Structures are given as structure tokens and as C-alpha cells.
Structure 1
Amino acid sequence: MEFANPEYQEEYELMIGETLAVEPEILNLPETASFSWKLNGNEISTDQNLDYVPEGSGTFNLQFKAVAGNDSILRSYQVIVNDPYDLYFRPKTESSSAFISEIFEYKPAPGQYINDTYGTLEDAENIVGGKSNTLSLGAWGGYFIFTFDHTIENRTDAKDFVVYGNAMSGLSEPGIVQVSFDENGNGVPDDTWYELSGSAHQLEETILNCEVTYTNPTEYANVPWIDNQQNHDSIMVNAFHTQNYYPQFIDEEDEVTFIGTRVYPTINSGGFVSIDALEWGYVDNFDADYNSYGGNAMEIDWAVDEARNPVDLRGIDFVKVYTGDQGNAGWLGEISTEIKGASDLSILE
């Protein structure tokens, strides 16, 4: 029993969460052979080939041993596991801004403000650096993605950032927030997204995997939509906005599909239409703390993965906000989350 190649890769370097895969090729291997992989002396596998996901960072000694009767072979490796936060965390400095520094993407769903006031690419850029301009995300699913000039740190026992909207008592249009850390360090939001799970995420009527497709009417006309729950309707036009409500500046010219969570705030119809706030965890939502922050204060610890399990994020670089309800508020038009900006609470406080 011997290794097929005397020369081998002696060092492996990877990130936390990546899989360490090692496949030693052995000649004259008896069927009775047993195997042992030890990381810093602790056995982590008894298979011939190793597939292991390290849980912590550091430099480790990895040892492989194959035993068959009185015969044994041994091989050692060095494993360097990097923590992406140590590599790519961007600390704030004295010159850091509290406000949004860059918009990466603006893809609204159809709505009365889209292609018009509050719903153009220029309006999206005007959100950068302050909180005085307004951006509409259109109907359910419409979103925008932004970043700051530093990583937003997850503070212990404190809210982390605030998103400003135009909510008021009796008029909430709740938006859902997702966050991401730049774990590959390339400066663009192509990493894993985690949703901030608010109070309504636990309710029975909430749809966690909603999918809606909107079709471009190519003119000022109702915009039809259909979802994966077999519902279909339209975003209704009104006399106050007479442009095409389908976003004309996105790549999807004919139809666009959004995927996410749908929540159901209470819409009170009648002579005066009102929309009740959800309890907590949403933006453009007049919750109990809205006046205190001038917007909705968000907590990174609310983040969950796709299986709805809590995740431990030390900080985040990218934020995505999307309209959370597919509702018609009568003469007010479709429910559409509006955003005026966002800021890092650690700088403001």
C-alpha cells in the first residue's frame, strides 16, 4: 500500500464555508483498509476522500492515515482557513458618510410613478447621499440595491441602520429588506442575500416564495400580472398619471418576474382609504418607532437564510429593499414602497 504520487499538494487555503476536498490516490489498497483524517489532532472523517467544511478560521495541521493490518501510510497537510470578514470588512473612518454612497440596481415593478415622478433612473441616483428625495419601487417585488462607503457593523443590542420612507399614520406601504456581506471582496452585490424576517413573516397568510410576472401593455393601460398562487389581476391606471406604468428602462422589455415574500397589511377601504402598519421589521411602515428614527430602524440580527434559519452576520455591505404587498388602495392606487434614503445608525448616534 503506497501513495500513487510522492509529490502532492501540501497546503490548502480556503474561506469559512467553503469545502475542503482532498482525494489521496492509493495503490495496492486492500478492501480491509481503514482511514482517518485529523484536524489539529481531532478526527473529522473516516472516509478515504475528505469533504469537510471548516467552521472557524486559522491555520491547521491536517493528517491523513490509511491502515491495513500492520501496514500504514501517513500524509500531512497545512490548511489555512480565512474569515471573509477579516479580509473584506470595510471599517468606517472619520470621513465616512452615514448615507447611501452608491446605487447598484433599480428595477421597479409597474406603478403610477414609474417612468414619471419618483420612478426613473435619475430618481434612483438622487437617493445617494441624503434623505430628501423620493424613489418609488412600484408594485409588489419592485426593488433597488444600494451600498455605503463602509461596512455596516452588526451592533450588539442596538439597531444598525435606518431606511427612510414617506409613511405616516394610516398610510404604510411596507417594504421588505435583504442584506448581504461582500464575502468575495469584489465590491459588487453577487454574494448570498439574507432576508430580514419581520413580524409578518411568521403569519399564516404570508407567502414566503411568491412569484409575480407583469406584462408590458406598451401604452398607458392597466398592467396585467399573474402569480404562482394562481392569482391574476392588473396594476390599475388612474387619471393623475397617464404614462406607461411598466418600467421602460429595464432589460425585460416585454415581461418581468419578481420572486420574494408577500405580506398582507390591512387595507381599510371606504370614504378614506388607509393602510395599517405591520408591527416591526419593514420599511416605509409607520411602526411604533418610526417617529423616533424618522424612518424604520433595522436590525441585522433579524437576518435568516433560505430555510428561514437565523444567520450570524458581523456586518453587511449591500442592502436590497423591495415592495412587500400586492395591494390596491382605491383612489390612492397600488401599494408601492417609497424610499427616501438610508443611513448607518452608528454614525448618526
Structure 2
Amino acid sequence: MQQKLSFYLLASLAIVSFFSSCSDEDEINIPMEFATPTYPENQEILLGETINLQPEILNLPSQTSFSWKLDDETIAKKHELNYTPAESGTFSLNFIAIAEYDTLSRNYQVIVNDPYNLYVRPKTESSSAYISEIIEYKPAPSQYINASYGTLEDAQKLVGGKSGMVSLGAWGGYVIFSFDHTIENRENEKDFVVYGNAFNGSSEPGIVQVSFDTNGNGLPDDTWYELAGSAHTAEETLSNYEVTYTNPGEYANVPWVDNQENKDSVMVNSNHTQNYYPLFIEEQEKVTFTGTRVYPTINYNRFVTIDALEWGYVDNYDEDYATYGGNAMELDWAVDADMNNVSLKGIDFIKVYTGAQGNAGSLGEISTEIKGAADLSMAE
């Protein structure tokens, strides 16, 4: 009797062990599956945008490896993909999850559109070589502001030619304009010219920024790139420079303070007796500008003179100024905020701002003036 009980007991334990073993094995071998069987196979983005994908997987074992391949190149080895393609085109994207007892994969087609191809505005027979629109005019304080060469009406005179004149005021003051077509980047050639009133001994360098309408909305709300001229790498040049001007409310020196703990004023003179602070901008108490500050040499002799910078600036009497009647600019000079070179196929918007801060004695403050701009592919 005791022998039979021992036999039944052993048999029962064996059965329990068998089912327990099967239960553990079944749990390990539960197949993985995507939580969403259907999915958007086509992923369409603009060049410069990021692909963000993380397929939701059910029954995902803790020890699972992942791989993402774009065509034949492995671009990630984790569950989530955050990838910014470096070029436009149509690519095959494959995701695979590999567990000890199971494999799961999914395929996508990635279409990367070049915004330039989508939104470029080609020249037509009716296109003009000159500025077609003044988008914004926000000068810094100056002896010319609210008077000759410093009103909204003066800024509009830049449209359609090169006989107008507008002052951008002291450091940071700017104008933004566009053409009726995209200015193309021409290989090994200058791309556009900005006309000024510089001459030998009188340079008031302005800095140029450019932008392409990447989102196609017709507004200058995309990334701006600075055209880095010869002085951008000079030791004394300041990037991320900032100046705040305060409205004195009358004909009086206009105080300013910068982010280098310097204080000074745009000084008034007896030749211009209006308020030098721009009375047509939104910021009527104070206004702040940011950008790059360059340092042209000011010579205080019998006559005050300002030396030209070597190249890359507006209203700057460089060696090519007489040839073009202004400053010819090259889109290949474009850099990002970290001074890395940027490749641009073309641009839709141009911003010019006064790049130097200084008092030129009897001449008053350094202030960039421009008379117009032209597409060199059409103006030659």
C-alpha cells in the first residue's frame, strides 16, 4: 500500500512539473505582434526635418535587440528612431526587432522632399532685377531717422531701382526686402549686389543675412544665415552682440547699453534737430538689436575717415565697389549660428543691418546706408 502511494505521489509531482514547465515555456514563446497592424507606410518629410518612429509592440521581451536600416545603411539600434536625413530622395526604411524566440519587422518608404524644389520662384520674362518689396524697416537711432533718408517712405524708394536712399541708423538697425523671384546661387560667381553711398575713406559696413522660404508661406520666418565677410573671423569681432537704445522723447542724445557692460549714446548735432529715435517702430520706449559687431578703423585726423573692411560687407568701399557700383555678395559665404558653412541653392529674403558701432566725430554715428539691390544674374 505504501509503495502504491509513493508511486502516485511521484507521478503527481511529475505531472505538476510537466505542466509548470509547459506554462513557463508558453509564456516565453508568446509571439510578438504590432499593436497597430495597419500603419502609414509612406513617411514624407522635408529635408532638414526629423523622422520620429517607435512602433508599439505587444508581448515584447525585455531582452530584445532593434535595428533600423535606411536602404542598406544601419542608422539606429534602438526601439525609437529619431533621424534627420542628409539628402533628399526616396528611401527604403526597415525596422526589425529580434528576441530569442521571435523576430518582427516592418517596412516603410521615406520620401524626403527638398524645400527648394517645392518653393523656388524661378525668374520669368517679367521679373525685375531689383527689389520688389520692403518687408520691414527698423532702423536704430541716428541723425537721419525721422528726417531725410530715415522714414518708411524713404525705405519704399528702394523698390525697383538704385536711386533711393535709406539709413539703417546706428549698430543693429536693419531693413528686410525681397525680389519677385528667388536669387539663385551661381557657381563661382557673385549672386547679388547691394548699392550704398560709400567712397574711399568713408565706409560704414553693413552685415547681410539671407533666408530661403523653406515653408513656402511667403514670410521671412525661416532660418536666417549670415554672410560672413573678412572681419567675421577677426579677434575683436563680437558675435551674439546686443544693444538696447532708449527713447529720450525729444531732440537729445539717445542712450544705449550693450551686453558687454558698455554704456554710451548716439550723439545729437546741430544739423539735425529732430528726435533721433525711430518714432514709427512698435517699440517706443526702448528697442533691442542682436547680431554681429565688426570694428572698422576710424581715423581721427583733420578729417575723420573710416577704412573699408576687406570684403563681404555693404556700404563698404572694398576693391570691387567701383566695379559693381556697390557691394557684390556671394551666397557661398553663408554660415549658421556656429559659423559653420551652409550650402544654399537660393534665397528669397535679404536682411541688411549696420555692423559697426561708433562715433565718427563731425560725421556723427556710423550708420549703413543703402540705395537698392539687384540680382546679378539679371543686372549684368
Residue of structure 2 in register with 1:300 after alignment: 331
Q: Distance in 2 between matches of 1:175 and 1:39?
A: 44
Q: Which residue of 2 aligns with 1:93?
A: 124
Number of the residue aligned with 1:247: 278
What is the match of residue 243 of structure 2? 212
Shift of 1:86: 0.6
Aligned AA (2:244): T
TM-score under structure 2 length normalisation: 0.91
Structure 1 equivalent of residue 229 of structure 2: 198
Q: State the Cα distance separating 1:180 from its structure 2 match.
A: 0.5
Aligned residue identity for 1:122: E
Alignment of 1:77 with 2:81, yes or no, is no
Structure 1 equivalent of residue 290 of structure 2 = 259
Q: What CA distance in whole angstroms lies between the structure 1 residues aligned with 2:163 and 2:131?
A: 12
1:103 is the counterpart of 2:134: yes
Report matched runs for 1:1-349 at 5 Å: 1-349=32-380
CA distance in structure 2 between the partners assigned to 1:78 and 1:312 by the alignment: 27
Secondary structure, in 3 states, of the residue corresponding to 1:78? strand
CA–CA distance in structure 2, aligned partners of residues 215 and 40 of structure 1: 57
- What's the secondary structure of 1:103's corresponding residue? strand
The one-letter code matched in structure 2 to 1:113 is: Y
Report the count of equivalent residues: 349
* Residues in 1 aligned to 2:272 and 2:105: alpha-carbon distance in whole angstroms: 75
CA distance in 2, matches of 1:290, 1:138: 22
1:145-176 C-alpha deviation (Å, 9 max, x unpaired): 00011111111111000000000010000000
The structure with the greater share of residues assigned to helix is: 2
Q: Compute the TM-score of the two structures, normalised by the length of structure 1.
A: 0.99
Q: Deviations over 1:226-257 (max 9, x none)?
A: 00001110000000110000000001010000
Amino acid at match of 1:189: P
Question: Which shows bigger deviation, 288-297 or 51-60?
Answer: 51-60
Distance of 1:180 and 1:5 partners within structure 2: 41
SS at match of 1:217: coil
* Residue type at the aligned position of 2:357: Q
Match for 1:139: what amino acid?
Answer: A
- Displacement after TM superposition at 1:42 (Å): 2.2
Unaligned runs of 5+ in 2: 1-31
Distance 1:202 1:76 in 2: 47
Amino acid corresponding to residue 150 of structure 1 in structure 2: H
Match of 2:29 in 1: none
Q: How many Å separate the matches in 2 of 1:80 and 1:62?
A: 10
| Distance in 2 of aligned mates of 1:91 and 1:145 | 20
Q: Give deviations 1:193-249, integer Å, cap 9, x for gaps.
A: 000000111111111111000000000000000000011100000001100000000
The structural deviation recorded for 1:279 is: 0.4
Amino acid at match of 2:359: N
For residue 94 of structure 1, report the CA deviation from its aligned partner: 1.8
Distance in 2 (CA, whole Å) between partners of 1:188 and 1:68 is 50
Percent of paired sites with the same residue: 71
Any gaps of 5 or more consecutive residues in structure 1? none
1:7 deviates by: 2.2
Rounded to whole Å, the distance in 2 between the matches of 1:296 and 1:257 is: 27
RMSD (CA atoms)? 0.8
- Tell me what 2:19 maps to: none
